[in-house]
Structure 1
Amino acid sequence: MNAPNRHELFVLEDNENALEVTEDTKIPNAATFKIVKQDHTVGNMLRAQLLAMPSILFAGYKVPHPLHPYFLLKIQTDGTTTPQAVFEAACTRLIGTLGGLETKFKREFSFKDATAGDAHAHPVGGMGMGMGEDAYGGGGGAAWAGGRDYLDF
């Protein structure tokens, strides 16, 4: 196949830089960043972080070819700061956002583990299904206690 080996898509070689910056000579306050061994996931998150900043006039990325593991990020500022400075700030904000997401994710799963003990005490179908109750907890109908339908999540 034409596809490169899987490890070549994310492991940097000894002489390979993860980031290359090229100043744009035709557009004022603009630069192109070549980010190696990354794809749409990081590119779209960086673009979104950059567009949330007030000093950004343009931020966009492209993956030139799916078999080449890099993307190009183009940034143009209003001149109050350099593209390199806003790129660094966007990366810092993105790391903070992902750290917060990780904390929330771990907290939710710790709550899930704490409530999982209750689920093991009762068999599937709830506490003792009586006559006329269905497996979804309704008394012959499809509603839970509190009038909620079992499809209401």
Structure 2
Amino acid sequence: MKQRHLINAFVAVVIACAGGIAAADQAGTVRALRNEPIDSLNRIGEVPHQETRRFVRNYRQQPPIIPHSIDQYQIDLSANQCLACHDWSVAGDRGAPTLSMTHYLDRDGTQLDAIAGTRWFCNQCHVPQVDAPALVNNTFEPSK
């Protein structure tokens, strides 16, 4: 019985070593995604900065684009910093646009006093406006 366990352990070690050797052999063919050596300096292009002018919407029902930076905003399960200015109860005092009343409806259409949980993560639909180059070719044309 002990001999059988010893043989099984030996076979497992031999298989693991063979796999390691095969992986090491293939390591010489690994390439970076940018087709440059893995240890080369990673250069990135210029980062587009946020525009100060307001952008027009491109289609009906497009969520408004955020005209200010949200880099340091906390939006997680416990806090949503957007509501400090845009919640209906403070928007008038802060001079900020108030949220649409649809943000205060639950799934059944019941009116709530607080923002609905389905609308809690603002940056699921709203993004900061920036005039950045398209990531992929795009033939989209705005509606008339």
Question: What TM-score results when the alignment is normalised by the length of structure 1?
Answer: 0.23
RCO higher in structure (CA 8 A, sep ≥6): 2
Structure number with greater Rg is: 2
Greater helix content: 1
Greater strand content: 1
Question: What TM-score results when the alignment is normalised by the length of structure 2?
Answer: 0.24
